[in-house]
Structure 1
Amino acid sequence: MSLASTTFEGKTAIITGAAQGIGRAVAFDLSSKGVYLLLADIQSAKVESVAAEIRGAGGTATATSVDVTDSASVAEMVSLALTEFDQVDILVNDAGGSGTEGVLRIEDVTEDRWDAQVDLNLKGAFLCCKTIVPHMRSRRYGRIVNLSSSNAKGHFGPLNTSGIRLPYAAAKAGIIGLTAQLARDLGRSGIYVNAVLPGFILTEEGARVRGRYEEMQRASQEAMAEAVPLGRPGRAEEVAKAVAFLASDDASYITGTVVEVTGGR
């Protein structure tokens, strides 16, 4: 008996941030298990390409553009999912990002930068949860998985792509609090809420982090790997497997949990 026929039969999912990186990997993983997908991202052409690739492999995927910081855009996304599939069982909140410029001192963090990072990385997940929860509550079923980051612990990002990005770290720590409180609030309604905290992850070819890693001297790559107890960077597909487990009925007594996919770091 396949996993698709047991834990994911007839299930539907919304995945935000699905155009690339971990969100893209989650889309392919859940599709391989038979989940019907609504893939959402502000990068409309890229997310449509992912959906087309999934359809070409025999999966069911619809793409839409979304700005997770805008409540009206999020409402349109959820409405489309319900029109397409009649129900939404799973929400994966992956939309986010740390930007391309870091600052080392709190004095240099502008209010605009703070607001933009918190809106994208925390408010976006809040709006998606707020919009889908009434539907999940009415069915007494839901699985929500929020993506945090090892930066929530105040770590430097790999390859200096995060530096000390205070707003990003604070927002990703906020994801952990959002997850914990929602799990307590929604458990009696049959809605499970968990988070996944990725560490040093190399995503697909062409991604910014992977590109910088591949440009490094071999000795520098080895030093980075040495800092990880498992001795290597992780893959987006490994994060996706953790997300899929938490989104499945196999995680039937797990809620309010943060699963670290960090190689032990």
Structure 2
Amino acid sequence: MHDIVRPGSVPAPLSVSIDAARLTYDGVPLFAGVNLRLEPAAITCLLGPSGVGKTTLLRMIAGLAEPEPPTTVAAGDGLPLQGRIAYMAQQDLLLPWLDALDNVLLGARLRGERRSAALVTRALDLLARVGLEGREHDRPAALSGGQRQRVALARTLMEDRPLVLMDEPFSALDAITRLRLQELAAELLAGRTALLVTHDPLEALRLGHRVHVMTGSPATIGPALEPPGPPPRAVDDPAVLSMQAELLRRLAS
């Protein structure tokens, strides 16, 4: 067991509201009038079939996709979201000329932060927690797809941001590693506001305080399911298994 070297304090809880979100492609609306609230200090999970617009919605919140009017994305405190977001894309986006450690430290490097011993220790500890102890000086070309995704996860969790956006963060992992890293993510996201896009109902129910399904054409987001108890929940929890059937029903509707 490794003890995480944490930043000085968890940022104040942040709520985020997405209202009247709209996206069109070649004149065809993919979604319109989509509303979603990210509750403060909670993990919100979003499921839906491929191509429904989940990733684009995530990118709108991150400021990486231009929202179409009348879309609004706003923090509950009224301040800009810029500079307060940690974002993990589906692709690992590692820089091939940097080793695993320097990829985890990339955010601090881009901000011009001093490479302190405490910062390096925390990065090394995160790499160990994601199962890459001893691989910190390997470049991405020497790592498997799943290992690169773990580096990207460590880099995201390294950021001290109140809002964390994650797009299929465990998709390249084997089943056991996936479960273990879900538990790590739940631990390190405690006290932060997070939106997790996933195709896995069980993953959503293990990690989410609130779970939404995005379906239809144009797509809409349905009401939240709220699994009982804090995450991460056991995979054999009867309530989780019961809700999984309801999620599958919603996905198929």
Shared fold per TM-score greater than 0.5:
no
Higher helix share: 1
> Quick check: which one's strand share is greater?
2
TM-score (norm 1): 0.32
Query: Which gives a bigger RCO, structure 1 or 2 (Cα 8 Å, sep 6+)?
Result: 2
